[in-house]
Amino acid sequence: MPPKLVPISAESLRVGEALPFPLYDAAGILLANKGFTFTSRAEIQTLLGRGGALFIDAADSDLYNRAFVSVLHGMVLREATIGQIAGVKLGGVETELTRADPDIPVGPPDWLDYQTQTNTMLRDPSAPMVLPRLIRIQKHVRQHTIRNPDGALFALFHLSASEIKLYSATHALLVSVMAGLAAREVLNWPEEAETSLCLAALTMNIGMTDLQDRLAQQLSPPTPEQRQAINQHPRRSVELLQTLGVKDQAWLEAVLNHHTVPSGPLAPRSPGMRMARLIQRADMFGARLAPRASRTPTSPASAMQASYFDENRKVDEAGAALIKAVGIYSPGSMVKLQTEEIAAVIRRGANTTTPKVAVIINREGLPLVEPVVRDTALRDFRIVASVPHRDVKVQINLQRMLALTAPTTGG
């Protein structure tokens, strides 16, 4: 009897260590015996090329089996029907398995790599292991955001303002981080809800990633066909996610409604609709600050007002939580100080209008060799205006600036 195959990620295979299980292709043909040792990543890629994807026997994966039992047990506790339990699909189990994986320590963040990986997966949702890989990226990004939230915001706002070719992926990462911060730091949502929220934000436009990137570079308004695809993308995204194995109803509901959820208090809503509202406000805030070929970005103050107030010009609960978490002058934005210096915001301050900044252009208009940190809570260094990224003719060294965002004992 052929083995029951479980897909695994090539990235999970270790060079120089003996395989703890045999590897198969999708047809069940043996690619590598148990005990085989890879001597380079190139060997793994060669094997991947031969088989198209890599699989193991489910019986060889204790972690897989525990996750499968856990999913079934959870369905029993939720009083699922026998038919629902019998219909559990492998893809859904793989998704639950990845979400249930304990966090593993991650090194310094490579935001360009996260940007590229996210772009690749959102553009080709039919590729093997797309959803587990997206979930792992979300878990890694969350760890980085907890460790250094200002650094995460700086990197993603900087990347969002720097180029538009990977707009959809960068925007998804930014909205995911912003919404997650608001959920965790302001609204005090439980981790499970925060995770569903962040995954919904990351995948909200999976049904139109290529179109969204093309629209960001398009000078003319959307065509009628493009407008139809835009209007249909929430449902298309949900259908793709269901095909990939997503069974989290809050996640799916948030994606389906992230453009149409009405204003009002969060408490009376379902979990998915609460998430949809927070995503909607973060989506609006991030999109207004990002450049497109057809328009210039708005100022942070204008973007804040659009998110902070609802459609009836009343304070929006989700928008207010977002602005409190991110700040009016978010890390990564550019400002002009009372001193006539131009600075990049590097850390959020005691309130939303007094962040820490790093001066990059002096009052004579000359770039500094080394950025100088200022506290805008001090009157002499208060912010007098926002400065569009396009007007700052200085090349930003992302790694150098990220070092300045790190938390300090002195605040």
Amino acid 191: pLDDT: 93
In a domain, 134, yes or no: yes
- Would residue 410 count as lying in a domain? no
Residue 246 lies in a domain: yes
Domain identity same for 54 and 158: no
**pLDDT tens series, the chain, 411 aa:** 456 777 776 666 667 767 777 888 877 888 888 888 888 777 887 877 765 678 887 666 554 444 445 445 555 555 555 555 444 444 555 566 567 666 766 788 999 999 999 999 999 888 777 888 899 899 999 999 999 999 999 999 999 888 788 999 999 999 999 999 999 999 999 999 999 999 999 999 999 999 999 998 898 999 999 999 999 999 999 999 999 889 999 999 999 999 999 988 999 999 999 999 999 999 998 888 777 777 777 777 777 778 888 888 888 999 999 999 998 889 999 999 999 999 999 999 888 889 999 999 999 999 998 999 999 999 999 999 989 888 888 888 999 999 999 887 544
Classify residue 7 as exposed, middle or buried by CB count within 10 Å of its CB (0-12, 13-18, 19+): middle
Euclidean distance between CA atoms 112 and 361, whole angstroms: 25
Clarify whether residues 212 and 350 are in a common domain.
no
Residue 335's pLDDT is what? 94
How far apart CA 129 and CA 352 sit, in angstroms, is 40
Question: How many domains does one find in the chain?
Answer: 3
Rounded-to-integer distance, Cα 342 and Cα 386, Å: 9
- Residue 395: inside a domain: yes
Backbone CA torsion sign across 200, 124, 212, 112? positive
Q: What is the DSSP letter of 381?
A: G
Q: Are 177 and 282 in contact (CB under 8 A)?
A: no
How many of the other CB atoms lie within 10 Å of CB of 39?
9
241: exposed, middle or buried (C-beta count within 10 Å: 0-12, 13-18, 19+)? buried
Residue 377 lies in a domain: yes
Which of 286, 314, 342 is the last residue in one of the domains? 314
Q: What is d(CA 197, CA 327) in angstroms, rounded to the nearest whole number?
A: 20
Q: Are residues 227 and 358 part of one domain?
A: no
| 171: alpha, beta or left? (left if phi > 0; alpha if psi -120 to 50) | alpha
pLDDT score for 63: 45
- Can you give the residue range of the structural domain that contains 308? 111-314
User: What local confidence, expressed as pLDDT, does residue 331 receive?
Assistant: 94
Using CA atoms, how far apart are residues 287 and 284, in angstroms rounded to an integer? 5
Would you state the structure tokens that stand for residue 311, as one six-digit string?
């459609």
Print burial letters for 385-402: b (CB count within 10 Å at least 16), e (below 16): ebbebeebeeebebeebb
Q: Looking at the chain, how many residues does it have?
A: 411
- Quick one: pLDDT at residue 26? 79
Burial of 215 (0-12, 13-18, 19+ CB in 10 A): buried
Tokens for 66, please give them.
């525990």
Instruction: Judge if 302 and 235 occupy the same domain.
Output: yes
Closest CA to 168 of 84, 280, 65, 283: 283
d(CA 338, CA 376): 9
Q: Does 370 lie in the same domain as 308?
A: no
CA–CA dist 8, 51 (Å, integer): 12
Same domain, 277 and 173: yes
Q: Which pLDDT belongs to residue 358?
A: 96
Give the sheet arrangement for strand 334-337, strand by strand.
367-375, 356-361, 342-347, 334-337, 383-387
Residue 232 and residue 124 share a domain = yes
266: nearest Cα among 310, 203, 205: 310
CATH no. for residue 292? 1.10.3210
Do residue 10 and residue 80 come from a single domain? yes
Residue at 298 is within a domain: yes
Residues 25 and 151 in one domain: no
Q: Which helix (H) or strand (E) holds 252?
A: helix 249-257
Cβ pair 334, 389 in contact under 8 A: yes
Q: Is 33 in the same domain as 77?
A: yes
Indicate whether 99 belongs to any domain.
Answer: no
Q: Which two tokens stand for residue 173?
A: 């990462």
Same-domain pairing of 381 and 284: no
Concatenated DSSP letters of 147-203: H-HHHHHHHHHHHHHH-STTHHHHHHHHHHHHHHHIIIIIS---HHHHHHHHHHHHH
100 part of a folded domain: no
Q: Are residues 250 and 135 part of one domain? A: yes
pLDDT (0 to 100) of residue 67: 43
User: b/e map of 148-178 (b: 16 or more CB within 10 Å)?
Assistant: bbbbbbbbbbbbbbeebebbbbbbbbbbbbb
Pairing of strands 356-361, 5-8: unpaired
